Each structure stands twice: as structure tokens, then as C-alpha cells.
Structure 1
Amino acid sequence: VDFGVVEAVAPRAGWAAPFLHRGDERSELSVRLCDVEEGTGRCQPRDADAAVFYPHRFVSCVRAEREGHGWRLNAEAAERIRAMRGLLRGLGAQGAGAKAADAPLVPAEIAGRCPAVEGLGMIPSPARSCAAQV
């Protein structure tokens, strides 16, 4: 699970609504990915150029405030990211014996810092903390 800042939106041809559909595989969003310091919630943009993603690749909207050249996640956003990473770590552990060739879902150095969660209900709701706008 990564955090990024949407820099530009290119809706698919013919799309006129002020939002994008979750299952959309044709609209494009230019996103600046950031590295997150889990202890502080500070986020620094990665050196790479913005990457292009599609709406179906997004899992949550979080609040972040501008801080210097980066961003700072609020407490709920930081907890949501930790919880989602914990879920992925748990899923990775369950499937670890399935195939030796499978890559881990989350890098080991990140997974070790993420608390495990027991289910999706433990992830804070994005509906309570932000309104997605395009």
C-alpha cells in the first residue's frame, strides 16, 4: 500500500461526471508517490516522476496537510495505512507456503513495522475522514 498525491486527472473519452468510477480502467491519474515515515506520518515525494494509475488501483482516500516540501498524514490516515499494510502482511503470511516463486506482497522491512489486523472492519472508514474530489 502506497501513499501518493494526485497531480492531474485525464477522464476517459466521453466521461463528464465530476467523479471517476471505481471500476474505471481507462481514465488516468498522474500520481506523485511518497515515502511515508510511519512513526511521524511525514511523507516525502519520491525522486521519480509522477506515475500514471487508473481509478481501479485506488483503495482509500486519506487526509494530508502540506508540510515543507512534503506532506503529513493525520492520525486516522496514518492508522489506515498501517492497518492495510498489516492486512497485506497477514495475507502474505497465509500464502507463504503456496509457491516459493511468489514475491511478498509487502517488503519485509515495512511489514515488520505494521501491526496485524484481524479483518477489514478494523480499517478506519474513508467515508468518515474525507470526501473524494476530482
Structure 2
Amino acid sequence: MARILAIDFGKKRTGIAVTDELQIIASGLTTVATPELIAFLKNYTSKEKVSLFLVGKPKQMDNSDSESESLIIPFLEKLTKSFPKIPVTRVDERFTSKMAFQTMIDSGMNKKQRRNKAMVDEISATIILQSYLYNK
């Protein structure tokens, strides 16, 4: 089986999480500078089989798209052109940043560690992936 890769897209940084080959466990992989994201994904998929990209879909409380969706659309176009054989699924990512921050508190991280926005992005991607696996 191939891995599922989740992307928590951001203007500056993008969090990435991945499953194991059996698609059972979601783990944070890394955070990448957004301008380097496609190159990172090309490198990663050259080494690992990926069967699906999950991309977070930011929503408002009234279920309308958030402002950042306008930044994600051009990325999705590049992603599907760069990886035409790997399907893309969107996943509601409401509250993932808050959940990631709470996870950092619950795991005992101190204030300085919790200010690491890259870690929040990676944990958010992991939460997106875990919720997808749970509802699959």
C-alpha cells in the first residue's frame, strides 16, 4: 500500500503529515517553506509511494470558505499538474490550529516550544490526516 500525505497549507509555511504504508497511523512529517512545497513533494514522492494528497479546506463558522482559500486554489492547480496520477481530497480543517496548540499544552511543551508555529502547522496536518483516517 502507499502512504496518504496531508497538507496544512499556509502562506509562509506548510505543515505535512503522512501515514504509514498500511494507512493506519498518522504522523507529523515536517514543515516546509510554502514556496519550496512542490519541490519537496516531488522529492518525497520519488522515494515514497503516495496514493492520496489530503489538503485542508479552511472554512468559516457559517461553512463559507475562509479568505485563505484564495491562496490554496493556485496551489491545488500546481499540485494536480505536478502529480496528475495522485488524487487530491479536501478536508475541513476548522479548529485544527487550536487543537494543535492544545495538543502541545497537553503534551507538556513549555511556552517557548508552543510559540514554534512550524510545530503547530505540522501537528495541524497530523490532525487533518487523523480525522480523515478515522472517518474513512
**Shared topology, TM-score over 0.5?**
no
Larger gyration radius, structure 1 or structure 2: 1
Structure ranking higher on relative contact order (CA contacts 8 Å, 6+ apart): 2
Please identify which structure carries the higher helix content. 2
